[in-house]
Structure 1
Amino acid sequence: MPNTSVHSPMVEPKTQWLNVILLWIAGISAAMQFAKVSVSFDALLAHYQMGAPSTGAALSAVGIVGLVFGVSAGMIASRVGYLKVLVGALLLGGTLSFVQSSLPSFQVLFITRMLEGFSQLGVVVAAPTLIAKLSAPQHRSLTMGIWGTFFGVAFAVCGWLGKSILGHYGLQALFLSHGVFITAIGVVLFFKLRKNPVLDLVPVTEMQEGFLKQMMQVYRNPRALLPSCVFLFYTCTLVSILTYVPGLIDDASLKTLMLVVLPLISTSGTFLAGAIAQYLMKPQRVALMAYCGVASCAVVLSFINGSAGWFCFVVGILVLFLGMVPGSALAMIPTLARNPSEQAQGYGLLAQFGNLGATVGPPSFATAISLYGLTGLVALVLTVCCFGVLFSLLAGRIKGTR
């Protein structure tokens, strides 16, 4: 039976903005587990002499864990406790970065990258669950929009400070500084949140059914599945757009500009979606609007010939709409979930589907572009948008909890 103690504290109906921002920073520190290797890719190639495929595998190793264990992570977090999982994941990430700062053998580096996947997954499952709990209902979609920017912000910060640290002090300093950062935010959150009455969430300890059967129930739960499907087709597309579209631009200066500007536009779209979902419409409708916007921009792209400026402008609008998808998908989960456990499972499934999309999307887009050029890109984007619209409409038929 669930604990229904009369001593359970009343939930404070105010958004705890400082704690929300600290949890967002924790997400940034976890996303830097991807970004730190991305910005130091050439330096790692030079140091380890393992070739681009092996070094690239070290970059993607973090995501493999999320692909395999996404759903089970949400279930485990609901049993162990979200704050324990979050702090443990951050401290694990710090320890692994400290090991990496010694520049061990490539085999040891690869193992630490695999283990970082558990750290990253623990953060992306527990942190948004805690943010939702610390947010008043009138701010929940907005705080989810803020949370959704953590990945883009991490890459922007690493591209700025990380490159500087790498250039001045080398690989060891880059990994060491990340270890200090992620450990520090873990310690701060432990002391800041451990006695917070709002987070007095009773872990789910009973095992009414087998673990595998419970996992299948998560996949069959539309409150968790549909936001994850909406998110899946975003991750299929964004990384590919950011990677391959600049290569379609002939102007070298515009190509360089787009490499910097497009990630920032995507991050702006994510925050914008959270604000719209909070104050103007349901997150399901925001996702629907976003996918329709992406499709419209893709159609316009197919009619632009010879104008690099207009091409870049339309791509920018397309990426803005595309960036709105994760903000709306993240806002759907606390809107549709009936309890914190269901929220954590939703975020776990979101992480799993996100890694699936990031794995399947780039080779699919690379093949389409290599065979058919811009026409292949537009056709694949339109296909993705059809599925995105479908799952957004299905999610809109579910009655929310607020």
Structure 2
Amino acid sequence: MSTAAAEKTAWLEIGLLWFAGISAAMQFAKFSVSYNELLAYYQAGPTWTGASISVVGTIGLVFGVTAGLIASKIGYRKVLIGALMLGTALSFIQSFLPSFEIIMATRILEGFSQLGVVVAAPTMIAKLSAPQHRSITMGLWGTFFGVAFALTGLFGKPLIAAYQLNGLYLTHGLLMGVMAVALIFLLDADEQRYHTGSTSNSEPYFKKLGKIYRTPQTLLPGLVFVFYTCTLVSLLTYIPNFIASDSLRATMQVVLPLLSTAGTFIAGALSQYLMKPQRVAQMAYAGLAFGAFMLFMGFTTPITFCFVVGQMVLFAGLIPGAALAMIPRLARDSNEQANGYGLIAQLGNLGATIGPPSFATLITAYGLHGLIGLVWFICLMGSLFAYLAVRLEH
């Protein structure tokens, strides 16, 4: 690839890679939005039906780092298109509404599809971005999960009402298929375009795995990110229960995810033009801690409570944009980038797994003060790792 090409941002390809990420995140969102219908159709009970939503994430929890190594070896373009094709086939199978056992098997396999996309796509976006746009494009990428839930929430229920579960899953399969075909034609078939540095894979697997966890360039962005996933899912789940007004509660359930998505994109712009992404992460954790302090001081009338919580979620939303922007800034080649994204996938799923039950336990024991205390602890730890990431560039 020429130097001139490297200085240009391939906006069309980046836009399609972002949509590919959205289609992959919809693998979570489509079962979330159709939870009640799945419960009624399969009669599998709340526990197993809930597991059908979360089981996709367990693959990232177990294989996140491994996926980065595999993508580096096989090629990011091949992994991405293969993951999209696998997701297409699985959605088509689900559209026939087979037995619940088969549904669960497809959900586990969808975890591999989702992981392939979230490891390969951001690595390719970083390579297709000129240096002056890289933090912006990584901020855009960071919004894919929130956008997927917003779009699925907007269109999912009408699709189910018109065409039942079959229509929702078939539509998702078609979307992933269209993404795969479009990227086959638009992405450069030369895998070297998406690599920098050595592509040697002579090291033993477990030695490489250990090196990833010991390398600050790959580890620190993931550690900044894990405390975000601990917090945001829990805030979106439990905070509305503290809002006394039914109408305000319903409004905030729509507004809070949008504020989080806006924060992620804002983080990309801040990281590009005003400050290092590590500083953005420090600012985000400070803003989140300040919001918790406002709640501790008793700003809990319905309107002020909603404003404070909105501010907390906005600042929390800055964190993934900052963490994702850190990876191409700190990584020394595309292999480290892919490993960084794999580790973020793994630690992100860890945070999403341990966060909600931790918050639920403390809220049950101490009410709102339990939530505030855990938010402060999370902000302290997240700020510490963001500070270490700042030091890494000195």
Query: Does TM, normalized by the shorter one, top 0.5?
Result: yes
Out of 238, 258, 265, the residue aligned to residue 264 of structure 1 is: 258
Which amino acid is 1:119 matched to?
A: S
Aligned to 2:229: 235
> Deviation per CA, 1:256-281, whole angstroms, max 9, x where unpaired?
00100000000000000000000000
Which amino acid is 1:122 matched to?
A: G
> Deviation per CA, 1:166-205, whole angstroms, max 9, x where unpaired?
1111000100000000111011011101347982537966
Aligned to 1:393: 387
Establish whether residue 47 from structure 1 lines up as the match of residue 32 from structure 2.
no
Distance 1:203 1:26, change over 3 A: farther
Q: Aligned partners of 1:200 and 1:389: how far apart in 2?
A: 32
Distance 1:253 1:175, change over 3 A: same
> Deviation per CA, 1:95-135, whole angstroms, max 9, x where unpaired?
00000001010010000000000000000000000000000
Q: Aligned partners of 1:325 and 1:107: how far apart in 2?
A: 37
Distance apart, 1:9 and its partner CA:
4.4
Q: Aligned partners of 1:197 and 1:240: how far apart in 2?
A: 39
Distance 1:232 1:200, change over 3 A: closer
Establish whether residue 30 from structure 1 lines up as the match of residue 14 from structure 2.
no
Check whether the contact 2:29–2:149 (CA below 8 A) recurs between aligned residues: yes
SS at match of 2:6: coil
Aligned to 1:145: 139
Out of 325, 333, 341, the residue aligned to residue 339 of structure 1 is: 333
Report the TM-score when normalising by structure 1: 0.95
Out of 44, 57, 69, the residue aligned to residue 63 of structure 1 is: 57
Which amino acid is 2:130 matched to?
A: A
Distance apart, 1:304 and its partner CA:
2.4
Q: Aligned partners of 2:221 and 2:349: how far apart in 1?
A: 14
> Deviation per CA, 1:206-258, whole angstroms, max 9, x where unpaired?
43221011101000010010000000000000000000000011111000001
Aligned to 1:82: 76
Distance apart, 1:389 and its partner CA:
0.6
Aligned to 2:239: 245
Out of 306, 318, 322, the residue aligned to residue 324 of structure 1 is: 318
Q: Aligned partners of 1:22 and 1:367: how far apart in 2?
A: 41
Which amino acid is 1:54 matched to?
A: W
Establish whether residue 132 from structure 1 lines up as the match of residue 118 from structure 2.
no
Establish whether residue 377 from structure 1 lines up as the match of residue 371 from structure 2.
yes
Check whether the contact 2:77–2:189 (CA below 8 A) recurs between aligned residues: no
Per mean C-alpha deviation after superposition, the further-off stretch among 208-217 and 148-157 is 208-217
Aligned to 1:207: 201
Q: Aligned partners of 1:206 and 1:164: how far apart in 2?
A: 50
Check whether the contact 2:73–2:201 (CA below 8 A) recurs between aligned residues: no
Check whether the contact 2:76–2:194 (CA below 8 A) recurs between aligned residues: no
Check whether the contact 2:138–2:325 (CA below 8 A) recurs between aligned residues: yes
Which amino acid is 2:284 matched to?
A: A
> Deviation per CA, 1:316-344, whole angstroms, max 9, x where unpaired?
00100000000000000000000011100
Report the TM-score when normalising by structure 2: 0.97
Aligned to 1:298: 292
Instruction: Give the number of aligned pairs.
Output: 393
Which amino acid is 1:255 matched to?
A: R
In structure 2, runs of 5+ residues without a counterpart are: none
Distance apart, 1:302 and its partner CA:
1.2
Which amino acid is 2:210 matched to?
A: M
Which amino acid is 1:399 matched to?
A: E
Which amino acid is 2:271 matched to?
A: A
Establish whether residue 163 from structure 1 lines up as the match of residue 121 from structure 2.
no
SS at match of 1:92: helix
Out of 262, 279, 289, the residue aligned to residue 285 of structure 1 is: 279
Distance 1:306 1:382, change over 3 A: closer
Distance apart, 1:162 and its partner CA:
1.1
Seq. identity, %: 59
Aligned to 2:346: 352
Which amino acid is 1:143 matched to?
A: T
SS at match of 1:215: helix
Aligned to 1:100: 94
> Deviation per CA, 1:120-174, whole angstroms, max 9, x where unpaired?
0000000000000000001100000000000000000000111110111100010
Aligned to 1:3: none
Per mean C-alpha deviation after superposition, the further-off stretch among 305-314 and 102-111 is 305-314
Check whether the contact 1:133–1:198 (CA below 8 A) recurs between aligned residues: no
Distance 1:306 1:149, change over 3 A: closer
Out of 166, 182, 192, the residue aligned to residue 186 of structure 2 is: 192
Check whether the contact 2:197–2:333 (CA below 8 A) recurs between aligned residues: no
Q: Aligned partners of 1:25 and 1:84: how far apart in 2?
A: 17
Which amino acid is 1:231 matched to?
A: F
> Deviation per CA, 1:47-105, whole angstroms, max 9, x where unpaired?
10000000111111100000000001000000100000000000000000000001010
Which amino acid is 2:125 matched to?
A: I
Which amino acid is 2:107 matched to?
A: R
Q: Aligned partners of 1:304 and 1:364: how far apart in 2?
A: 23
Q: Aligned partners of 2:344 and 2:299: how far apart in 1?
A: 37
Higher helix share: 2
Q: Aligned partners of 1:122 and 1:181: how far apart in 2?
A: 17
Q: Aligned partners of 2:104 and 2:42: how far apart in 1?
A: 12
Q: Aligned partners of 2:200 and 2:324: how far apart in 1?
A: 28
Distance 1:202 1:336, change over 3 A: closer
Which amino acid is 1:118 matched to?
A: F
